[in-house]
């Protein structure tokens, strides 16, 4: 059995790239050739037989394609001298050549938080063959035709660098159109564009009026066509969504449904930003949770517990009289006395209100807000409360789940689930820091420490490609990188922040390189290369004798070794900054080499060597003592290869002693914690790494699990053993950064790493340890599913691996045996 399947197309303008996976029972299966066809009405591109083993990101090489057109493609492959049958067809669609629809506005004032409905009626007098809607908004929108939702995606058009580009979505409305009169309606809400945004209660950062724009292309069965644009023929009215804000929630007044007072829309002046096709991953409704408990707190609050901290909203059934209300407040945690805890939300009200219009039972859920919550307080509800009438709906970008990990220790399995839910809760169109308080911004530091883990859990290539595009657009002319992307800090007149902290700005280099390693997408790396280079040159212009000792830095943020009342860890900022300067420069040199830029590769390898020399002279004594006596200083020196060879033994020994000095615990922050176990396992201290992972006492990863966490906390001491909580000013219970330990579970415990970008070549080298008796990880790579599963039983070690077609692997057993294999399933056994 041999066939190509899981066909995907990566579209960049009129330049598609094709990828496929091979399914075969043949051992050592390697693609020798492919044959690809692309077709449309009256068009056919036939590649012929192309002899290559490339099966991902194969560039289209045919005649020029057309804009706003739908194409089908298929492929067959030759593997081990045998040709497969043709695959099923897959489709892709090209974007508009240029955006032409004007933006239309309503009468919303700068301080208003209501939603508006834009409407136009059209009459179709001929049967429709096909149609397309291209739509966008300044704000958030959803779209209906004849009262039916055109899409199941949420939070359109997404959050981008609005001052530079606004994105549009493409929908197929053909099933919703009928002969005769049709009503087009778009509801637009303030969203990220003009609503409350940031942690100092600012609004209108991008603009003070919502707007909507759309192009509807209709092709009739007789071959004629028609285009409808937003213009002054459209009307607007007030929506029954009388209040809606990302942070504060939504109020829906069912008594105001079916508005009758419509006014003419006005044209907005031509915008300065570009309108571009959506290039991210749409947000959709995902898992649904029923309450696991309904109780009354000591303060008398009626509370539903959904059992999982998630990002989303609550849907419910309700009936009653006109004017009756349902009021829901959302929270992540209960306080030490068991009461509903919202202090950590800061100014975010996180409250949804539904005002009944009377009549039969209704089902309601919000549309333009989201909350981070596990608990919901029912401040008002008509009649008796039946928990079965409520459900929590998780919302996040609709990425493919690619990785799974499980082992013999239930607490570690729960930790893995918590890491996954930390990703889900914060990957809502952009990688946010947290989903619950008045922040929810795309902090660069959080993204760079978590990206290796994220790439194991989900296919995040397209998700981060969009975000990196905005990072590059918002990069300062001198190469500096904002703290957050999109960069609302720069736009907020209430803030006087700097930019370009070490470990935060380094996302410009670290994230593209991690994506290249995980997916093998050289085009993405090339597109980001100028941004990567700009960041390193920004640092170089500010470094003194190759030491980055200028500027403001978050450094080892929220480390437990910080002074009382401070978020800055004890590790000196110039050490952290210079370490990251060296690391980013080394990755830039590798990126240059990967892209064939030999001159830059030589240049940045030389610069990296100079930075390492300066670091060693500045921070190591002649006898090998590291000047900063902190865990993070030793971790960064080890994992970034900054330690002189002669001093590695002393450095790792001191790190182990620092763990012992702190009772076997970590006291690291954002920069040290993600690399801690790697620093140990890479330097023959595997036992200590497992001990750190499996520590159950406060503070530790598993302490959070035993405390009932279902996501990753912002602080290792978010809830202390006595039940007291960290400062409410900054205490998220869904903050993925410390979930970066997930990378270690895959790369060390399961032993899975790519040795060629995209897992074309693979290393599987599990390192059993701790109390684990088995572990298993699967990863859906660009070539197919990879598996590493080991077990220790009766002092015997066994390993089962599955290698996908069109790849090769080096399998290293704990006893030192090495096997080089092609695709297939292999089982190895031996002594422990």
CATH fold for the domain made of 2-93: Immunoglobulin-like (2.60.40)
Mean pLDDT throughout 635-650? 98
Which of 51-55, 649-653, 718-722 is least confident?
Answer: 718-722
Contact 142, 284 (CB under 8 A): no
Query: Residue 101: which pLDDT band, with cuts at 50, 70 and 90?
Result: very high
Distance between CA atoms of 762 and 782, rounded to whole angstroms? 12
Whole-number Å distance between alpha carbons of 823 and 632: 40
Other CB atoms closer than 10 Å to residue 352's CB: what's the count?
A: 26
Alpha-carbon distance values, 224 to 214, 220, 365, 745 (Å): 20, 5, 41, 58
Helix boundaries (H) for 620-675: 631-639, 648-661
pLDDT of residue 561: 95
pLDDT tens profile 111-125: 999 999 999 999 998
Q: What is the tens place of the pLDDT at every residue in 445-492?
A: 999 999 999 999 999 999 999 999 999 999 999 999 999 999 999 999
- Strand partners of residue 719: 725
According to DSSP, residue 156 is labeled: B
- Which residue in 544, 525, 635 sits closest to 587, CA to CA? 525
Query: And the tokens for 679?
Result: 């620093």
CATH code of the region 104-278: 2.60.120.260
Q: DSSP per residue over 707-754, as a string?
A: TT-SS--SSTTSB-TTS-BS-GGG--S--GGGGGGHHHIIIIIS-EEE
pLDDT confidence band for 44 (50 / 70 / 90): confident
Q: Contact 235/129 with Cβ under 8 angstroms?
A: no
B/e letters for 13-47, b = 16+ CB within 10 Å, e = fewer, are eeebbbbbbbbbebeebbbbbbbbbbeeeeeebeb
Look at residue 564 in the predicted model and tell me its pLDDT. Answer: 82
Residues 6+ apart with CB under 8 A from 81: 32
Omega before residue 486 within 30° of 0, cis: yes
Cα-based angle 342, 347, 352 (whole degrees, multiple of 5): 70
Can 439 be counted among the known catalytic residues?
yes
Give me the residue spans of the domains in the chain.
2-93, 104-278, 284-397, 403-749, 752-831
Tens-place pLDDT, residues 184-196: 999 999 999 999 9
Protein fold of 752-831: Maltose phosphorylase, domain 3 (2.60.420)
The 10 Å Cβ neighbour count of residue 684 is: 11
Q: What is the pTM of this model?
A: 0.98
Note the pLDDT tens digit of each residue in 366-384.
999 999 999 999 999 999 9
Give the span between the Cα atoms of 601 and 585, in whole angstroms: 10
Mean pLDDT value of segment 405-411: 98
Tell me how far the alpha carbon of residue 95 is from its chain's centroid.
Answer: 24
pLDDT at 41: 86
State the chain's mean pLDDT as an integer: 97
Q: Which of 185, 250, 409, 439 is catalytic?
A: 439
For residue 560, what pLDDT band results from cuts at 50, 70 and 90? very high
Cα–Cα nearest to 217, from 185, 256, 261, 170: 170
How confident is the model over 233-258, as a mean pLDDT? 98
Strands (E) in 602-700, as ranges, are none
Spatial neighbors of 783 by CB under 8 A, at least 6 apart, are 21, 22, 55, 56, 758, 759, 760, 804, 805, 806, 807
Burial of 802 (0-12, 13-18, 19+ CB in 10 A): middle
34 DSSP β-pair partners: 50, 77
Give residues with Cβ within 8 angstroms of 125, minimum separation 6: 179, 180
- Backbone φ and ψ for 777, nearest 5 degrees, come out as -135, 140
Question: What is the predicted pLDDT for the residue at 381?
Answer: 98
Measured CA to CA, the distance from residue 421 to residue 734 in angstroms comes to: 8
Query: CA angle at residue 726 from 409 to 429, to 5 degrees?
Result: 70
Q: Tokens 């869904």, residue? A: 734
Q: How many CA atoms lie within 13 A of 364 on its CB side?
A: 24
Q: Among candidates 340, 432, 321, which has minimal Cα distance to 379?
A: 340
- Residue 730 pLDDT > 80, yes or no? yes
Buried b (16+ CB within 10 A) or exposed e, 555-577: bbbbbbbbeeeebbbbbbbbbbb
Number of CB atoms found within 10 A of residue 529's CB: 20
The alpha helices in 560-597, defined as continuous H runs, are 573-594
Identical fold, 2-93 and 104-278:
no
Q: For the domain made up of 403-749, give the CATH fold.
A: Glycosyltransferase (1.50.10)
Query: From start to end of 164-220, where are the E strands?
Result: 165-171, 180-189, 211-220
pLDDT surpassing 70 at residue 205:
yes
Question: Which one, of 122, 371, 123, 389, lies nearest residue 229 by Cα?
Answer: 122
- With 0-12 / 13-18 / 19 or more C-beta atoms within 10 angstroms meaning exposed / middle / buried, residue 106 is buried
pLDDT above 70: percentage of residues in the chain? 100
Supply the pLDDT for residue 1. Answer: 79
Q: Which residue has the tokens 């449309």?
A: 40
Pairing, β 153-154 against β 90-93: unpaired
Q: How far apart are CA 632 and CA 618, in angstroms?
A: 16
> Token digits for 286?
């995902």
pLDDT of residue 565: 80
Q: What is the pLDDT of residue 717?
A: 86
Backbone angles phi, psi at 560, to 5 degrees: -75, -10
State the catalytic residue, choosing from 250, 688, 714, 787. Answer: 714
Q: Give the C-alpha separation, 659 to 758, whole Å.
A: 36
- By residue count, the chain amounts to 832
The pLDDT of residue 818: 97
Q: Which of 280, 263, 227 is nearest to 430 (CA)?
A: 280
Fold of 284-397: Jelly Rolls (2.60.120)
**Alpha helices in 707-809, H assignment, sequence order:** 742-744
Provide the β-strand partners of residue 793. Answer: 796
- Assign 832 a pLDDT band (cuts: 50, 70, 90): low
- Pair 445, 501: CB distance under 8 Å: yes
């Amino acid at each position: 059995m041999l066939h190509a399947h899981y066909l995907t197309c990566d579209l960049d303008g009129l330049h598609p790239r094709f990828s496929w996976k091979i399914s075969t029972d043949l051992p050592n299966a390697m693609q020798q050739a492919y044959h690809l066809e692309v077709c449309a009405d009256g068009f056919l591109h036939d590649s012929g037989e192309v002899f290559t083993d490339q099966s991902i990101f194969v560039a289209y090489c045919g005649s020029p394609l057309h804009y706003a057109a739908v194409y089908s493609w298929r492929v067959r492959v030759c593997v081990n001298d045998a040709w497969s049958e043709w695959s099923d067809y897959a489709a892709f669609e090209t974007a508009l050549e240029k955006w032409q629809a004007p933006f239309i506005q309503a009468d919303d004032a700068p301080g208003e938080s209501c939603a508006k409905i834009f409407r136009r009626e059209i009459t179709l007098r001929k049967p429709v063959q096909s149609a397309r809607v291209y739509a966008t908004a300044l704000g958030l929108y959803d779209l209906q035709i004849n009262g039916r939702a055109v899409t199941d995606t949420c939070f359109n058009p997404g959050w981008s660098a609005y001052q530079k580009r606004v994105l549009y979505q493409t929908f197929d409305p053909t099933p919703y159109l009928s002969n005769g009169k049709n009503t087009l309606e778009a509801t637009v809400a303030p969203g990220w564009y003009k609503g409350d945004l940031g942690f100092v209660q600012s609004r209108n950062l991008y603009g003070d009026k919502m707007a909507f724009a759309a192009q509807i292309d209709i092709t009739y069965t007789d071959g004629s066509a028609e285009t409808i644009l937003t213009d002054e023929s459209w009307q607007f009215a007030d929506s029954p969504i009388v209040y809606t804000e990302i942070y504060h929630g939504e109020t829906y007044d069912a008594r105001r449904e079916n508005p009758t007072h419509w006014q003419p829309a006005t044209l907005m002046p031509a915008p300065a930003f570009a309108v571009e096709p959506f290039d991210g991953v749409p947000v959709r409704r995902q898992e649904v949770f029923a309450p696991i408990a309904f109780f009354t707190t000591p303060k008398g609050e009626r509370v539903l517990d959904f059992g999982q901290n998630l990002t989303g909203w609550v849907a419910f059934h309700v009936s009653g009289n006109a004017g009756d209300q349902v009021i829901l407040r959302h929270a992540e945690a209960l306080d030490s006395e068991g009461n509903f805890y919202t202090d950590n939300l800061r100014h975010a009200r996180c409250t949804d209100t539904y005002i009944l219009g009377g009549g039969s039972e209704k089902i309601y859920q919000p549309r333009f807000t989201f909350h981070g919550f596990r608990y919901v307080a029912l401040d008002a509800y008509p009649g008796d409360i039946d928990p079965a009438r409520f459900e929590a709906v998780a919302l996040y970008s609709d990425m493919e789940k690619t990785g799974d990990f499980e082992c013999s220790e239930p607490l570690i399995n729960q930790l893995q689930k918590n890491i996954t839910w930390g990703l889900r809760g914060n990957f809502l169109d952009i990688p946010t820091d947290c989903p619950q308080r008045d922040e929810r911004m795309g902090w660069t530091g959080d993204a760079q420490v978590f990206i290796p883990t994220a790439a194991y859990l989900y296919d995040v290539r397209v998700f981060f490609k969009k975000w990196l595009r905005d990072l590059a657009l918002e990069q300062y002319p001198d190469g500096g990188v904002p703290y957050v992307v999109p960069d609302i800090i720069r736009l907020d007149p209430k803030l006087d922040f700097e930019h370009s902290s070490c470990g935060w700005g380094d996302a410009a280099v670290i994230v593209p390189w991690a994506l290249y390693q995980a997916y093998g997408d050289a085009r993405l790396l090339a597109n980001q290369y100028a941004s990567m280079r700009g960041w390193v040159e920004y640092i170089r212009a500010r470094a003194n004798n190759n030491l980055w000792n200028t500027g403001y830095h978050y450094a080892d943020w929220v480390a437990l070794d910080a002074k009382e009342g401070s978020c800055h860890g004890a590790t000196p900022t110039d050490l952290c900054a210079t370490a990251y300067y060296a690391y980013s420069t080394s990755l830039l040199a590798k990126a240059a080499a990967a892209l064939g830029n030999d001159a830059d590769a030589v240049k940045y390898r030389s610069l990296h060597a100079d930075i390492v020399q300066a670091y060693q002279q500045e921070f190591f004594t002649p006898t090998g003592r590291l000047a900063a006596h902190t865990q993070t200083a030793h971790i960064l020196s080890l994992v970034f290869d900054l330690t002189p060879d002669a001093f590695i033994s002393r450095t790792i020994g001191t790190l182990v002693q620092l763990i012992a000095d702190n009772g076997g615990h970590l006291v690291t922050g954002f920069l040290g914690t993600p690399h801690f176990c790697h620093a140990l396992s890479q330097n023959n201290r595997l036992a200590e790494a497992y001990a750190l992972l499996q520590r159950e006492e406060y503070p530790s990863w598993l302490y959070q699990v035993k405390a009932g966490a279902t996501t990753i906390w912002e602080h290792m001491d978010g809830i202390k053993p006595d039940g007291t909580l960290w400062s409410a000013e900054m205490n998220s219970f869904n903050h993925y950064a410390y979930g970066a330990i997930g990378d270690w579970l895959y790369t060390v415990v399961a032993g899975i790493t790519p040795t060629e970008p995209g897992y074309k070549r693979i290393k599987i080298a599990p390192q059993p340890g701790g109390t684990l008796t088995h572990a298993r990880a699967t990863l859906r790579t660009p070539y197919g599913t990879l598996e590493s599963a080991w077990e220790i039983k009766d002092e015997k070690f066994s390993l089962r691996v599955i290698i996908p077609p069109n790849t090769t692997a080096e399998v290293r057993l704990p006893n030192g045996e090495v096997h080089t294999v092609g695709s297939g399933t292999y089982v190895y056994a031996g002594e422990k």
